[in-house]
Structure 1
Amino acid sequence: MKATKKLPEAGSSPPVKQLLDEPETVTTIDTEYGQLYNVACLSDEEIWITGNDNTMKLYSINQGSLLQCFTTKSWEWSFEIAVTKSGDLVYTDYRDRTVNIVKNGKIEEVIRLQNWIPSGVYSTSSGDLLVIMDNFDKPAKVVCYSGSTEKQTIQFDDKGKSLYSSVGFRRYITENRNQDICVSEDGAKEIVVVNQAGKLRFRYTGHTPAPKNQPFNPLGITTDSQSHILTADVSNECVHIIDQDGQFLRYIDCELIYPYGLCTDTNDNLFVAQMSNSQVKKIKYMF
């Protein structure tokens, strides 16, 4: 069962929407995971999710039912998932250092790394793959691939300083409408945003006061039609909304419990994978 993921064209102007004063939970989906880490929209009706086992599961949003299930090739849990423009599932596998795609019910290896471990992955509006990867002796880097071919590596700024840290366990990555590349770093406790050429635009290190007065701890990251950047803050159990230039706009706090993975659908509904209670919340936050 596959749908074509609709991505907005970079040059098109979406209808202007406003943030709701009080976001509201539309529905809650119970999953079969002990812990839930990632969510990716296949369509406005279906979502892929992963957790603390070696499966990737497709759920119906409205019915809350399991539609499909795949097991990773290495039998280890995947770090992150994404959906391509054509509706195929992509996942990173830290055990065998690969990026894989699920096509026509079969898993195909797309990228195999040497000395690096893939963490986050995202399928861009142009069909390329962005992969954020770790080497614990070096700063992390983002590599853009066309298929299995490296197109671009982003690791240092204009002064030769590392853009990303060498510490941390989980990194998520996404692309904004203006082709900015946004990476959440749980180790460095910040969001790093570079433009398409890899030039640093800004770092976002949180906002005070925070809902639980805890240090900023970003995990899942996504964007919407208004070029907002949304990131899950697991320590404060909320989602931060910032604009495309890094200015804080507001929090989403819908009684979230350890929010990890995020994604948005074509109607700008937010899906939040909650780690500790194994539920995905669908939240309306714009009109």
Structure 2
Amino acid sequence: MASRAALWFLWLLSLCLTTEILASENDSYSWSNILQLLEAQCVAKRGDEDLEKGKELTHGNYCESWRFNVELHNIKDFNSIPDECASSVGKYMSSSQYKSDVRRVADETSRFLTNSFRLAGDSRDAWVFDVDDTLISTVPFYKKHHFGDIVDCRSDPLDRASLEKWMAKGKATVIDDMLSLFREINSKGLDIFIISWRPEHLRTATVDNLFKAGYHGWTKLILRCDEESYVDAQSYKSEQRKKLVEQGYRLWGIVGSQWSSLTGHSTAKRTFKLPNPMYYL
């Protein structure tokens, strides 16, 4: 406390000296000029204090920075959410901010369609959607497991097997803004292809879940067969898009919550990324 008081005294002393020098050396300096100078120095001082305070908040901001960098694709190949961030991710995925972010993706996609899309009329205009956390949400599953917070004694470690067991029950919920976007794209005459990392044995459950959520009228649902189990998600999805292009389809856009759905070869004219910090494929 004594050292802080001494620093404040020295700072105030320097202000007084600065004021006297300005007033004596330059008559053009009015007191309003001097007051503006003092205000600027106060702002600078508060900025320094904020920076110091920021150092103290680094740990508190860590999870927000982690989630942000997942969306930027700076953080890749993570197997799970950091234990200390599970609660933060859960709050975001259940928040109005998440819903607002999804709506913005839908709005920007719709704007692109309005401004850039023209139907050729040869039945070769196409659009690609992913399934999980694009058309339907796995948030209920992750919420049940506390988003992988293994520090929480109520939570079980997450794995792909438990997720697929849950998928087989067809309990994924609709993402409302994506349903509206799906219907808009369908109404414009594009063929809709749904390319998912889900395994083929979940086809019936996936179709039933999509129907129950309100999705109808897609051209083809493409799921991963057994031989493709050892291929990474990006390569698998790229290969499926390549097959569509080889059949003469023009891919106008892709919507997905994973970078593996958007990157690789045979991509579309535009890609639209939905937020999803829960897992990485």
TM-score tier (shorter): under 0.3
Pair member with larger Rg: 2
- In the superposition, the TM-score normalised over structure 1's length comes to 0.25
- In the superposition, the TM-score normalised over structure 2's length comes to 0.26
Q: Which has the higher strand share?
A: 1
Q: Which has the higher helix share?
A: 2
